[in-house]
Structure 1
Amino acid sequence: MADASDENPQSIPVVDSSDSASVAVGSLSLDASSAASSSTPEMTLEEKFQLVRSVGEECIQEDELRNLLAKKPNPICYDGFEPSGRMHIAQGVLKTISVNKMTKAGCTVKIWIADWFAQLNNKMGGDLNKIRTIGRYLIEIWKAVGMNQEKVEFLWSSDEINGRASEYWPLVMDIARRNNLARIIRCSQIMGRTDQDDLTAAQIFYPCMQCADIFFLKADICQLGMDQRKVNVLAREYCDDIKRKNKPIILSHHMLPGLKEGQEKMSKSDPTSSIYMEDEEAEVNLKIKKAYCPPKIAEGNPCLEYIKYIVLPWFGKFEVTRPEQNGGDKVFATMEELIADYESGSLHPGDVKPALAKAINQILQPVRDHFKNDKTARDLLKAVKAYRVTR
């Protein structure tokens, strides 16, 4: 845990994003000395369910999740990422919020550092040394921003697979054997590809391996983005094929959009569309200032999305500072209240953008401090910035 977080513990109130949730479940603390990552005796089954459910925009299936939490005190949650470049706030802050919720509810979170998968997908031109450097840089960020790691395991795919090869590869082969090529190609979205792309043989093999990861890691819950949904569904279908009753539960989180109009997903390859975790304060201010934020339109507005999925869950409020003649200062506790003001015109983009930039900068400051003061982190960032991002 970064020193900055220890000196200034921040509270992440649990804001539920699911329509069905209605139970207040307290807050998540980023202070390393707290018990935020542990399931507290006061937490009821319903509170645990609502907390875990709030992580996902979609859950397959809710009744299975409730049953899991009732019967297993410490479920295993799987998340994974390709080390492929600098980290943006969707991967940094949003993942931290989600992981801290999961560990607070009693889950053990296994974060799969998919170095071999990045190589298969030709990230960093397939250079495994660069990919592993990026993986170490990403871990430094999560430590600095406040991910509670008491129940978090960072696992390198190459090390784990090599260590248990006799278990892993027969599983991959069986998944491949039970699916036709068309079904596997439909999963190409998980790699940032489409089924119309000219895929390499490695990229066709990739979905079979990712599906195998779920069982290899003994995951009860797959906590990945909506863009990973198809391979998670493939894992549930595989359970049907092998007559396995306990299927992995899919908890798919929201995909944070880019800052430009019409960008459904934040992209590391477009620096102007994403806020990086080590961006300086002036860079964040400029990017938010230029962001798409049409007056009176909440739908498809990335600035409002960042408030909903990052600022409100982190601080429990969104504070706007403005002159009295423009409405005066106001604190929003819910998105419903904020959207009502925004769509009526009483809250203007000129009010939203400075307040959003200020909140994001406050979240990112411990990360900046860590990369400035820690030599290992500083050297990793220098190396990663020098790499050319490849698709």
Structure 2
Amino acid sequence: MFATVDPLTGGLIWEVQGQKEKEQKEKTKVKYVEIKDVNVQFNPRPSRLSLEEKIKLLEPIGEELIHKDELINLLKNKTFPICYDGFEPSGRMHIAQGLLRALNVNRLVDAGCIFIFWVADWFALLNNKMGGDLNKIKNVGRYFIEVWKAAGMKMHNVKFLWASDEINKRPNDYWLRVLDLARKFNVSRIKRCGQIMGRNDDEQDDKMAVAQLFYPCMQCNDIFFLEADICQLGMDQRKVNMLAREYADKSTDAYKPIIMSHHMMMGLLEGQAKMSKSDLNSAIFMEDSAEDVKRKIKCAYCPPQITKDNPVLDYTKEIIFGWRNKLQILRKPENGGDKEYTTYAELEADFVSGALHPGDLKPAVTQVLNELIQPVRDHFAKDPEARALLQEIRSYQVTK
């Protein structure tokens, strides 16, 4: 028998003991699901819409748009504007990430844009998602892509790029600008971007990891590294996108990206300004069963005649009328009879007046949501690889 030195403890590991430890590590190691060519459908097509039609199509995306005149000029002069969104692979996907994201991407694709998804695996590692296990992170990234494909995202103008792969292809280009960004802004300005990592202001103290200072500089640089014309992310990412515009004023070779920030959907329970993956009742997930959807909507906060902080109305406006442009309410004659709404404004007016009751709205919302996510359920039920991937993802513990 012979022994080796344990690099962590300095003690001796005998051959038999070392073999057992090695076997145990292999047994518990997370397997990385090999990814096929996720961009096999990428084949860019230009838009046939007029400039006016493109603007009308894109305006609903942005809860905030900086700036409309810049967007008009871009669409007028570039056949394939580049849009980007970076996402941390972390846990299961809720419908804001699934249905709302697919809806907005399809609008941009129809306007002739190429949409680049930056699969931010290294960023998830920096933010300690999935316990910092890179194999888990990559598996979740694959799961996200599978969901979007099944949900009806128009893939011909969509490209997925893995941050770890792309940065390693051009490390000098990437890291030099990250260093330049770090030089041009102070710690206070960078810490103000903490919201992009899902961190509250209260968490930005001396206990924060240094990695969380790297993160905003890296995300800001992604915009220039990918040569993105439009940053199409949520309102929670606004601060780092504005940092990119500020950096352009301080740099001789950077341009100001257009910022198109979409609405952040509420959690289903009272007082939840944002959906939470760690609270399974806070959101509907893209492969939830029909029974799950029915139960969650039935229990959702939806006070009669109140629109403020009402998540059921939020779902109705952002998702139902985004995908369908109509909603059929089925009621008994004594409750007003059936009615079809073709605009959200009309539905909201009836809700405020009391003509539409939550008890009638909720079943209608449930039915449409189930119809919209049924293709995703079918994909994960019928495709063996997708089914195995989902089972793997469900075994992971979600970390903040």
Task: Determine if the TM-score, normalized by the shorter chain, exceeds 0.5.
Answer: yes
Match of 1:126 in 2: 132
Check the 8 A contact 1:38/1:105 in 2, yes or no.
Answer: no
Distance 1:120 1:311 in 2: 35
Query: Is the partner of 1:224 in helix, strand or coil?
Result: coil
Please tell me the residue identity of whatever aligns with 1:288.
Answer: I
Distance 2:397 2:64 in 1: 34
| 2:108–2:115 CA contact under 8 A, matched in 1 | yes
- Work out the CA distance in 1 between the residues paired with 2:216 and 2:77: 30
**Counterpart position of 2:142:** 136
* Distance in 2, Cα, partners of 1:132 & 1:245: 31
The answer to whether 1:186 aligns with 2:192 is: yes
Gaps of 5+ in 2: 1-43
- Following superposition of structure 1 onto structure 2, how do residues 107-256 of structure 1 map, counting pairs within 5 Å? 107-197=113-203, 198-243=207-252, 246-256=255-265
**Which SS does the other structure have where 1:298 is aligned?**
coil
CA distance in 2, matches of 1:167, 1:98: 30
Work out whether residues 220 and 244 of structure 2, in 8 Å CA contact, stay in contact via their aligned partners in 1.
Answer: yes
Structure 1 partner of 2:355: 346
Would the aligned equivalents of 1:81 and 1:112 in 2 still touch at CA under 8 Å?
yes
- What is the CA–CA distance in structure 1 between the aligned matches of 2:62 and 2:314, rounded to whole Å? 15
Task: Assess, with a 3 A threshold, how the Cα gap between structure 1 residues 324 and 38 changes in structure 2: closer, same or farther.
Answer: farther
**Structure 1 residue 300: deviation in Å?**
1.2
- Structure 2: which amino acid aligns with 1:337? E
- Identify if the C-alpha distance between structure 1 residues 173 and 343 changes in structure 2 by more than 3 Å, giving closer, same or farther: same
Shift of 1:336: 1.1
Q: Give the conservation status (yes or no) of the 8 Å contact 1:256–1:266.
A: yes
2:288 aligned residue: 279
3-state DSSP class of the match of 1:379?
helix
Q: Does 1:381 pair with 2:387?
A: no
- 1:96 matched to 2:102? The reply is yes
Q: Which amino acid aligns with 2:124?
A: A
The amino acid that maps onto 1:70 is K
Report the CA distance between 1:267 and its aligned residue: 1.0
Per-residue deviation, 1:199:
1.5
CA contact (8 A) 2:224 2:254 kept: no
Q: In the alignment, residue 107 of structure 1 is paired with which amino acid? A: C
TM-score (norm 2): 0.87
| SS, match of residue 219 in structure 1 | coil
CA distance in 1, matches of 2:171, 2:363: 52
1:204 is aligned with what amino acid? L
Which residue is 1:289 aligned to? 298
Amino acid at match of 1:363: L
**Quick check: 1:161–1:168 contact (8 Å CA) kept in 2?**
yes
Change (3 A) 1:306 1:370: same
Alignment partner of 2:55 out of 49, 52, 70: 49
Deviation of 1:244 after TM superposition, in Å, equals: 5.1
The match for 1:390 is 399
Letter in 1 for 2:215: Y
> Aligned equivalents of 1:386 and 1:276: distance in 2?
15
TM-aligned CA distance change 1:269 to 1:314, over 3 Å: same
Q: What is the Cα deviation at residue 72 of structure 1?
A: 0.7
Q: Which amino acid aligns with 1:114?
A: A
Letter in 2 for 1:228: Q
Give the TM-score normalised by structure 1: 0.89
The 3-state SS of whatever aligns with 1:86 is coil
- For structure 1, list consecutive stretches of 5 or more residues without a partner in the other structure: 1-36
Q: Equivalent residue of 1:388, what SS?
A: coil
Percent identical pairs in the alignment equals 59
Cα 1:218/1:40, change in 2 over 3 Å:
closer
Report the equivalent of 1:64: 70
| Distance in structure 2 (CA, Å) of the matches to 1:246 and 1:389 | 37
Write out per-residue CA displacement over residues 10-36 of structure 1, whole angstroms, 9 at most, x where no aligned residue. Answer: xxxxxxxxxxxxxxxxxxxxxxxxxxx
Distance 1:219 1:53 in 2: 19
Report the secondary structure of 1:54's partner residue: helix
Q: How many residues align structurally?
A: 355
Matched letter for residue 348 of structure 1: H
CA distance in 2, matches of 1:63, 1:39: 21
After superposition, the CA RMSD in angstroms is 1.3
Secondary structure at 1:237 match in 2: helix
What is the rounded CA distance, in whole Å, between the counterparts of 1:208 and 1:183 in structure 2? 11
CA shift, 1:39, in A, is 4.3
Greater Rg by CA: 2
CA offset digits 1:115-155 (Å, max 9, x no partner): 00000000011000000000001100001010010010011
| Local SS of the residue matching 2:232 | strand
Equivalent position of 2:335 in the other structure: 326
Structure 2 distance, partners of 1:213, 1:53, is 24
Whether the aligned pair in 2 keeps the contact of 1:112 and 1:156 (CA below 8 Å) is: yes
**Matches of 1:191 and 1:312, distance apart in 2:** 30
For residues 72 and 299 of structure 2, the distance between their equivalents in structure 1, rounded to whole angstroms, comes to 43
Shift of 1:246: 3.5
The answer for the alignment partner of 1:301 in structure 2 is: 310
- Which residue number corresponds to residue 16 of structure 1? none
Q: Distance in 2 between matches of 1:234 and 1:262?
A: 30
1:282 to partner: Cα distance: 0.2
Q: State the AA in 1 paired with 2:96.
A: A
Q: How many Å separate the matches in 2 of 1:196 and 1:261?
A: 22
| 1:83-109 deviation per Cα after TM superposition (whole angstroms, max 9, x unaligned) | 010000000000000000001000000
